């Protein structure tokens, strides 16, 4: 899936070709040793991050690892015999053993899974394709079970991971119990509409499903439909509990897959006693500790896996730097932890602080949250059940009212505990606060690591909370029984229980690794130098040449590059006993003309590394002045060029013949090009040059007389370039008559250049012949000439690659060759106006907002040292925008707005911004750390100032109309009264994340745009704003904003109420509208609170709506309205199965598909006494659907036109983007064992 993004290759081969140099091949570098954590990662083969995460989890399950190690070679066979036809070798367990031994003992940064995946029967394509880790877990366990048949480990998976569930249906009439048992290796739990793991397990194994009313159960014993209850319990718990989270779902409304990223909590320790069939054992038998969390980052069509793992045996080096600013833990407070865990003590303390010790039950839960910072459901429900049930079970202490709405503390109980509560209350809650800030230090602290393929980093236990929600969130959870204790000898002992043959293999491998690293270190720190001795050379024809032979003139010296230049000079003095006088060392290089001295080495105190001496460097040893009495020119400016010079031959009488003579001549690079006449003894003439390898008439360029004083380098001549000298009266006919050089274009070695310069040309595109070593500048100049464009364009144009979708990419620098620029033969380039960025500049795309369509980005060139603030200002100026309420975000690999660039003074280079990156201009100034900037809107669901008119008549004030969304956000809404959703912008609030929702409302009431007099924040209802409509209802007044996970760009709208509202945790707010008989329209909306404590069933909702309108439940029909589709979906509670052999279908949960019911949804109500038909739609719905069809048709036509246009303009070189291929199934192939 990710190509070779994660490929790691340790091979490095250096080829030094040249005269007098040998081909030197560096040995393969050994893998890097382990880092400070002393733990080994696993290399990614391209798309095997999901496999790596699961293998690390199994490796850090000591009981699984040691059970696998206990299987000897006599049972599994030997890997050496795996290719023998008659051998019985169980390859998968053997490769797993070997991999675990490498992870434990082999001193390398990351192990390889290549041998293991080969034993799976996977090809390279399979290793590059990513799969689901939950699917792999089941398939790998199945493959292991099959591989271990007939061995002592045949029950390994069953022994460690197997559990059972019992499903029971109890008849209410005859009490007959119908029971069915199911096996499991992992539990799959829901994520959508569930707050956490405990709630999901509660719904699955505590809540009962009741069959009654129109959903009866057919009892086989009674022989008729009866009332019954269905429940499920955990019958047998395994030592290791694997839990798979259903993060990926299918949206039946949008017909697409999506990832559920909502908050989903899970505890570090969980008590499964409430969910088990047998609960008479001690609580410790049901306690499980979290030890692994596999995390998925990305969407439903791709992403990346890594894993958080608890090091049970303390095999790794856990060095986590704690924040020193946190307060020290009070050791005396820790002694009161048992009191904190006792809900009786806390509830008594809260009730004693109330007048008459009386409080509503809902407020009791809220005060508990405010006092200890955690809700009843999160801390106590898994062990003690719901709050009301707990109060009922302790009737000797608490007294509930008849309707169970209020609770008070009994007098006898209050007198008995009052003194203790008063003494311990302050210390009790202080202890809880200190516990939440407890530092993870000390020898007993759990050691957690983040293992991300090859990378292993220590993390804090509290970091697990970051994986509760978001695009990067927990996907699989692994728990182990708390009673499982590890032997003392296993602690920090990686050799524990490892078989002897694997210990020997790993020891030998470590010795070999040490030897290879020592050899590699020696190789990497030595350079081979080629010493050219000055007395053995002579200077002629512009370069140095050996007097006798190259072998006698050059000595090879191997030297440690960590030593200094003075040490090198001293070593050469000792080698050359005959040397007299000064010794100068210079870097030389071979050119076609011979040996040329480039640079003299200075600084005897500098090491060879510091002066950047490369391996295989040529060093010229001389006196620094002359060779053989001739002064030697040095430096890159006077590097000799070997040119092919062509001129007309002359006869013995001195007349020119019709024949060309080709000869080689050497000229210094800094010599004037007119010196060619002097070298050839030609008085005057015309000089033509040809820089390309293919010599043809069309490639020759005449040098103007005024340019004859320019140097060879300025004219772009290089070694091998051709120079033609003609007489002043000669024409070009001589080239054609010779017939030696015909200009041909190789059909493969070409690039296609399109004219995008906004200047007219005879041809729209041309093919330019080139090789991988051709410089981009040459291609650009040729394209301008062949397109017959203005010469001035050469100074202000650039070449930009065109991708397969026709998008122009970052310009290519003129100085690069095609190979350096990464361009392939046959690519398409666009000739565009404007210069390419220099080496110190960045070419960036940028766009306004986060909804970016390909091809709509703007472009800019800035210095890489520019600050984020200055870059933002330049982009705003280019967009014609002003103000300081903007910030920049970098587009991530998912083509979405990533993290903001918060450091405004930081340079783009420091933030790793590269050419070709896309930055997004997002409106809104970034708030300080720990604060949110929240836009506040005023929401009028029934039209402007509807039910507040009477309440505010005396003020005669109106809202500011400057910022109004009078969105026809629901065109075609069910009634005129609800046809508009009007949102008035009040202003922005900058508020701390630690503030409560009530404090946000209070601050919003002080905004100058709000001209209403609100009695108190309780008269306001808060919603998030999604797509310019109210979205999620924020219901708990005392809850902190950070607990709502609002995000940096959340907007909130406030709705006025006629009376205070205190929503319970199970209340759902719906807007119901009665259909007007005889009309396709609805009456005004009515807010209805629906108590879902007994379930989100259709029958419960129908009963609640019937009560509101005082109608018989069988005489109404209800339907949910989907404003984005202008459609109504009837809500029916009939789901009785007609076949006895099939399982009963669970009662409809309106939270799930296809209704997805939530706060604020519109429910249409039809009175069947006056209107009996199936139509819930309105005239506005019909109009809205027609408009949607027209819009969809227009978009389809636009896409087809754009596709056709792109095909015409960019035909030939581009291929259309490939559609996502079908998902491939995952399998592991296991041999048959008899």
Residues in CB range of 363: below 8 A, 6 or more apart: 1062
Phi and psi for 1017 in degrees, rounded to 5?
A: -60, -20
User: What is the residue whose two structure tokens read 């033969």?
Assistant: 825
Task: Kindly report the backbone phi and psi dihedral angles of residue 325, in degrees, each rounded to the nearest multiple of 5, phi listed first.
Answer: -80, -10
State the pairing for strand pair 630-631/626-627. Answer: antiparallel
DSSP state, residue 1219: P
What Å distances lie between residue 890 and 469, 503, 755, CA to CA? 22, 49, 31
Which residues are bridge partners to 307 per DSSP?
294, 451
Q: How far apart are CA 418 and CA 1053, in angstroms?
A: 44
Distances (CA, A) of 484 to 160, 310, 479: 12, 14, 11
Owner of token pair 């800035």: 862
Spatial CA neighbour of 731 closest among 795, 686, 694: 686
SS3 content of the chain, % helix, strand, coil (to 5): 25, 30, 45
Q: Give the three-class secondary structure for 49.
A: helix
Q: Is 1229 a residue of the active site?
A: no
Q: Which of 471, 433, 420, 467 is nearest to 448 (CA)?
A: 467
In terms of DSSP bridges, do strands 618-622 and 584-591 run parallel, antiparallel, or are they unpaired?
antiparallel
Q: Taking CA 15 as the corner, what is the angle to CA 9 and CA 21, rounded to the nearest 5 degrees?
A: 155
In 3D space, the residue among 1183, 1117, 1115, 1129 whose CA is nearest the CA of residue 1161 turns out to be 1129
Residues 6+ apart with CB under 8 A from 549: none
For 44, 134, 1016, 1229, the CA distances from 128, given in Å and listed in that order, are: 9, 18, 60, 18
Q: Which residue has the tokens 């096996």?
A: 183
- In the block, tokens 């001129």 appear at 647
Exposed e or buried b per residue across 171-207, where buried means at least 16 C-beta atoms within 10 angstroms of its C-beta: bbeeeeeeeeeeebbbbebbbbbbbbbbbbbbebbbe
The total of other beta-carbon atoms located within 10 Å of residue 63's CB is 17
User: Which of these, 363, 347, 350, 346, lies nearest to 406 by C-alpha position?
Assistant: 363
Is 570 in contact with 610 (CB distance < 8 Å)?
Answer: no
Burial of 511 (0-12, 13-18, 19+ CB in 10 A): exposed
The residue annotated as part of the active site, out of 304, 530, 596, 887, is 304
Alpha-carbon gap, residue 677 to 683, rounded angstroms: 6
Which 8-state DSSP code applies to residue 389? H
Catalytic residue among 49, 171, 219, 871: 49
Can you tell me the distance from the alpha carbon of 1067 to that of 78, in angstroms, rounded to the nearest whole number? 64
> Residue 653: left if φ>0, alpha if ψ -120 to 50, beta else—which one?
alpha
**By the 8 A CB rule, do 792 and 781 touch?**
no
| Residue 438, Cβ density class (10 Å: 0-12 exposed, 13-18 middle, ≥19 buried) | middle
- Is position 49 annotated as part of the catalytic site? yes
Active site residues: 49, 304
């Amino acid at each position: 899936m990710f190509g070779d993004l994660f490929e790691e290759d340790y091979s490095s081969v250096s080829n030094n070709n040249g005269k007098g140099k040998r081909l030197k091949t560096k040995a393969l570098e050994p893998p890097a040793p382990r880092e400070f954590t002393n733990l080994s990662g696993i290399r990614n083969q391209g798309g095997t991050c999901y496999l790596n995460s699961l293998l690390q989890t199994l490796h850090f399950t000591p009981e699984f690892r040691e059970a696998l190690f206990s299987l000897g070679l006599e049972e599994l066979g030997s890997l050496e015999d795996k290719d023998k036809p008659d051998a019985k070798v169980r390859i998968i367990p053997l490769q797993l053993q070997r991999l675990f031994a490498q992870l434990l003992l082999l001193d390398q940064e990351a192990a390889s899974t290549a041998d293991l995946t080969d034993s799976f029967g996977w090809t390279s394509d399979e290793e590059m394709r990513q799969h689901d880790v939950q699917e792999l877990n089941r398939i790998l366990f199945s493959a292991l079970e099959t591989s271990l048949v007939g061995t002592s480990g045949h029950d390994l998976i069953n022994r460690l991971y197997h559990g059972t569930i019992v499903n029971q249906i109890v008849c209410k009439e005859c009490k007959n119990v119908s029971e069915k048992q199911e096996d499991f290796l992992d539990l799959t739990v829901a994520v959508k509409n569930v707050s956490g793991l405990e709630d999901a397990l509660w719904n699955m194994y505590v809540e009962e499903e009741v069959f009654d009313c129109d959903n009866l159960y057919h009892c086989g014993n009674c022989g008729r439909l009866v009332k019954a209850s269905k429940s499920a319990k955990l019958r047998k718990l395994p030592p290791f509990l694997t839990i798979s989270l259903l993060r990926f779902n299918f949206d039946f409304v949008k017909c697409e897959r999506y990832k559920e990223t909502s908050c989903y909590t899970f505890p570090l320790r969980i008590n499964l006693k409430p969910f088990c069939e047998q609960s008479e054992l001690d609580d410790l038998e049901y306690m499980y500790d979290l030890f692994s969390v596999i995390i998925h980052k990305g969407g439903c069509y791709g992403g990346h896996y890594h894993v958080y793992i608890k090091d049970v045996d303390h095999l790794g080096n856990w060095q986590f730097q704690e924040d020193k600013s946190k307060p020290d833990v009070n050791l005396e407070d820790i002694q009161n932890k048992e009191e904190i865990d006792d809900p009786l003590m806390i509830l008594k303390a809260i009730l004693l602080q109330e007048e008459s010790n009386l409080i509503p039950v809902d407020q009791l839960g809220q005060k508990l949250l405010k006092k200890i910072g955690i809700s009843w459901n999160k801390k106590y429900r898994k062990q003690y059940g719901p709050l009301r049930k707990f109060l009922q079970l302790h009737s000797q202490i608490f007294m509930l009212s008849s309707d169970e709405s209020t609770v008070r503390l009994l007098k006898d109980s209050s007198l008995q505990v009052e003194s203790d509560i008063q003494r311990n209350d302050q210390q009790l809650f202080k202890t809880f606060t200190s516990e939440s800030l407890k530092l993870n230090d000390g020898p007993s602290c759990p050691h957690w690591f983040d293992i991300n393929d090859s990378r292993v980093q220590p993390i804090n236990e509290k970091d697990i909370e970051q994986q509760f929600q978001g695009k990067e969130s927990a996907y699989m959870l692994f728990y182990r029984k708390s009673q499982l204790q590890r032997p003392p000898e296993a602690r920090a002992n990686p050799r524990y229980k490892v078989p002897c043959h694997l210990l020997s293999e790993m020891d030998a491998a470590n010795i070999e690794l040490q030897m290879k690293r020592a050899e590699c270190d020696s190789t990497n720190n030595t350079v081979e130098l080629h010493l050219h001795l000055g007395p053995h050379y002579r200077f002629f024809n512009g370069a140095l040449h050996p007097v006798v032979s190259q072998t006698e003139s050059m000595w090879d010296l191997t030297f440690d590059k960590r030593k200094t230049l003075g040490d090198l000079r001293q070593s050469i003095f000792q080698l050359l006993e005959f040397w007299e006088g000064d010794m100068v060392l210079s870097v030389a290089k071979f050119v076609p003309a011979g040996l040329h001295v480039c640079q003299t080495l200075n600084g005897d105190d500098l090491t060879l590394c510091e002066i950047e001496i490369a391996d295989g460097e040529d060093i010229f040893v001389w006196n620094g002045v002359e060779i053989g009495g001739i002064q030697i020119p040095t430096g890159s400016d006077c590097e000799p060029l070997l040119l092919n010079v062509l001129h007309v031959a002359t006869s013995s009488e001195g007349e020119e013949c019709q024949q060309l003579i080709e000869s080689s001549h050497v000229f210094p690079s800094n010599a004037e090009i007119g010196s060619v006449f002097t070298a050839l003894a030609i008085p005057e003439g015309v000089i033509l040059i040809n820089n390309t390898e293919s010599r043809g008439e069309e490639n020759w360029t005449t040098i103007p007389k005024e340019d004859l004083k320019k140097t060879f380098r300025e004219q772009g001549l290089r070694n091998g370039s051709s120079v033609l000298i003609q007489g002043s009266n000669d024409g070009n006919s001589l080239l054609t008559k010779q017939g030696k050089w015909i200009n041909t274009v190789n059909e493969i070695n070409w690039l296609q250049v399109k004219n995008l310069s906004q200047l007219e040309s005879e041809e729209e595109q041309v093919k330019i012949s080139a090789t991988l070593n051709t410089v981009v500048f040459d291609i650009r100049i040729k394209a301008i000439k062949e397109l017959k464009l203005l010469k001035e364009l050469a100074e202000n144009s650039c070449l930009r690659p065109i991708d397969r979708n026709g998008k122009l990419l970052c310009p290519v620098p003129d100085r690069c060759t095609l190979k350096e620029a990464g361009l392939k033969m046959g690519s398409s380039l666009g000739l565009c106006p404007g210069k390419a960025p220099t080496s110190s500049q960045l070419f960036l795309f940028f766009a306004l907002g986060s909804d970016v369509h390909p091809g709509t980005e703007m472009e800019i060139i800035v210095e890489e040292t520019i600050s984020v603030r200055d870059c933002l200002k330049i982009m705003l100026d280019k967009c014609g925008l002003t103000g300081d309420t903007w910030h920049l975000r970098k587009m991530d690999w998912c083509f979405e707005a990533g993290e903001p660039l918060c450091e405004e003074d930081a340079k783009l280079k420091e933030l790793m911004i590269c050419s070709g990156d896309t930055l997004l201009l997002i409106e809104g100034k970034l708030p300080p750390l720990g604060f949110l900037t929240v836009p506040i809107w005023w929401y009028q669901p029934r039209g402007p100032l509807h039910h507040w008119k009477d309440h505010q008549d005396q003020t005669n004030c109106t809202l500011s109309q400057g910022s109004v969304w009078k969105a026809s956000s629901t065109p075609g809404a069910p009634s005129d009264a609800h046809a508009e959703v009007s949102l008035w912008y009040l202003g922005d609030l900058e508020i701390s994340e630690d503030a409560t929702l009530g404090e946000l409302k209070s601050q919003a009431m002080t905004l100058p745009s709000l001209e209403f007099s609100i009695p108190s924040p309780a008269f306001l209802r808060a919603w998030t704003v999604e797509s310019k409509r109210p979205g999620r209802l924020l219901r708990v007044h005392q809850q902190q904003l950070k607990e709502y996970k609002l995000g940096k760009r959340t907007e909130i709208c406030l709705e006025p109420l006629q009376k205070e509202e205190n929503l319970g945790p199970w209340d759902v707010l719906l807007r119901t509208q009665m259909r007007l008989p005889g009309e396709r329209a609805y009456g005004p909306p009515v807010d209805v609170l629906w108590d879902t404590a007994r379930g989100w069933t259709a029958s419960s909702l129908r009963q609640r709506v019937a009560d509101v309108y005082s109608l018989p439940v069988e005489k109404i029909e209800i339907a949910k309205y989907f404003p984005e589709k202008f459609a109504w979906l009837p809500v029916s509670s009939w789901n009785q199965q007609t076949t006895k052999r099939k399982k009963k279908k669970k009662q409809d949960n309106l939270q799930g598909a296809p209704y997805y019911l939530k706060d604020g949804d519109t429910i249409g109500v039809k009175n069947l006494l006056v209107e009996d038909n199936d139509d819930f739609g309105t005239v506005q719905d019909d109009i809205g659907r027609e408009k949607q069809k027209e819009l969809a048709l227009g978009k389809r036509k636009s896409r087809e036109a754009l596709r056709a246009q792109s095909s015409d303009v960019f035909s030939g070189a581009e291929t259309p983007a490939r559609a996502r291929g079908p998902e491939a199934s995952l399998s592991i192939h296991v041999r048959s064992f008899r």
